[in-house]
Amino acid sequence: MGKTYNVHVNDNQEFVIEPQEVSSLNLIKTSHNNYHVLQENKSFKAEVLQGDLNTKQYLVKINGSAYQVKILDDLDLLIKNMGFSNAVSHHTNTVVAPMPGLILDIFVEVGQQVEENSSLLILEAMKMENNILSPRSGTIKSIEVKKGEAVEKSHLLIEFE
């Protein structure tokens, strides 16, 4: 048994994708961030332009048209329905790696003021560049990684004052 996903496209369309639809999807990776998708005898070229695993938001190009996509699974929906969505992230003083990867770029410096959702760094994981965003507004206290460094899941990346 698989997961059901709610997919929001461009903030104006919503789809529910059932487990059987996920398992029947014919998807082939053709190159870095590029895929060939065959569904209901129709062929699609897909490219993941940007991705953020923390917010589960992606910029995807399908047959030349770009779409902003947000994916919610059952747990995300339960948390949202209980009224807990993002409430904890506003009070956090740390940013940790959501998965193992390589630090490609760091956009902030110690002492810098940042706004919520501003780009902190780029973490490459599974050949995809993930833009790690600030969970809150605040001042950067420390940066615990360097450009080019490999990190494990839950590795401390940045601390706030």
In this predicted model, what pLDDT tens digit does every residue of 24-65 receive, in sequence order? 889 999 998 999 998 888 999 999 998 887 778 899 999 999
Are the CB atoms for 72 and 56 separated by under 8 Å? yes
Of residues 158 and 83, more confidently modeled: 158
Query: What global pTM score does this model have?
Result: 0.52
**pLDDT given for residue 96 in this prediction:** 92
User: What span, in angstroms and rounded, lies between the C-alpha atoms of 36 and 71?
Assistant: 20
Q: What is the pLDDT of residue 160?
A: 94
Helices (H), 1-144: 19-23, 74-81
Tell which wins on pLDDT, 137 or 81. Answer: 137
